[in-house]
Amino acid sequence: MTKKQPAAPAKKRVAPSAEPTSKGIDSYPLKVGTKAHPALGLGLWSLGRWTREDEVKTRTTVEHAIHAGVSWFDTAEVYGTGRSERLLGDVLSRSQNDGSQLFLTTKVSWEHLRAAQVRAAVVGSLQKLGRRTVDLVLVHAPDAHVPIAETMGALETLWKEGKVGAIGVSNFSLEELAAARAALQETDVVVNQVVYNLFDREDGDGVVDYCRQNGIVVEAYTPLLRGILAGRYLDGETPSPEVRRFAHHLLDRDRYDTLVAQARSIRELAKGEGIPMASIALHWLRRRGAAVLFGASRPEQVDEILDAWAHRPSDAVLDRADEIARGTPRA
């Protein structure tokens, strides 16, 4: 994505600031909607790509996450061709949690951005989730063949009807983000969800300053780069072809050895501080003002993330990790 800075539409916004919660997970106030945006949440991207047995495990994982205090859950109509939304909705219907304290996000597919398709997609998502409204709906990715004004206009109508608490986008460049905002008349974009982590920061760094200035939350997915920033693949195991395919080319052979060496240095930094390696990756993003979206397929993985979140590194440690990731460590 390009890093050229577009002129912001003439809409005065207040940048979000962190607010602590009783669960130890901070939140950002949103300029639209009635709920604050949690700083840490569980993404359900992998649901539906697995066997039935794996889905049972994931159901257990989601239930465990709710009981452990995770309140933000992110899904999409394309995840498992709807199975992800149905599973999440089923878990919520069986949970003693009525959902009022949860923050639910879903996405309209890039294949459904015409006005009638947007409405059908959102209504379908609500039915699968078993909800009358959802806290946040994102445009999953832009489609150059569909005018963004048509898509955003349809979403704004759904927002006026109360079916959508707030509107966001995903994988949008700065120019695309500015165009999406300009297309709205009575509300504004509150989120841009992008790939963002210590090693893969092109998208995140390109939008984070603009979003901070305009009160838009940056949601960071793949915060641990498929596990490398939690220590995976650093002791002989190699990424599968599928993992490589979804790693933004960072795991290509010509970059892999350098990346692993840098990750090992960050692991040693974490060991020296007596904290989980993932703590550095998560809180580097948190310091940048991003909301962090992690993945998990087992309850213990949720616990590991929450433990890493509970250990906040010093600014000096985060600065050092940043230098290592940039390839400019001090002597």
Active site positions, annotated: 79
Q: How far apart are CA 209 and CA 162, in angstroms?
A: 30
The one-character DSSP state at 19 is B
Single-letter residue type at 78: V
Q: How far apart are CA 92 and CA 199, in angstroms?
A: 35
Q: How far apart are CA 194 and CA 220, in angstroms?
A: 5
- Answer whether 238's CB lies under 8 Å from 296's CB: no
3-state secondary structure of 246: coil
- Answer whether 45's CB lies under 8 Å from 79's CB: yes
Single-letter residue type at 141: A
- Answer whether 2's CB lies under 8 Å from 254's CB: no
C-alpha separations of 192 from 139, 214, 221 in Å: 9, 12, 11
Alpha-carbon dihedral 60, 164, 203, 311, rounded to 10 degrees: -40
- Answer whether 292's CB lies under 8 Å from 40's CB: yes
Q: Return the H-helix or E-strand segment holding 259.
A: helix 253-273
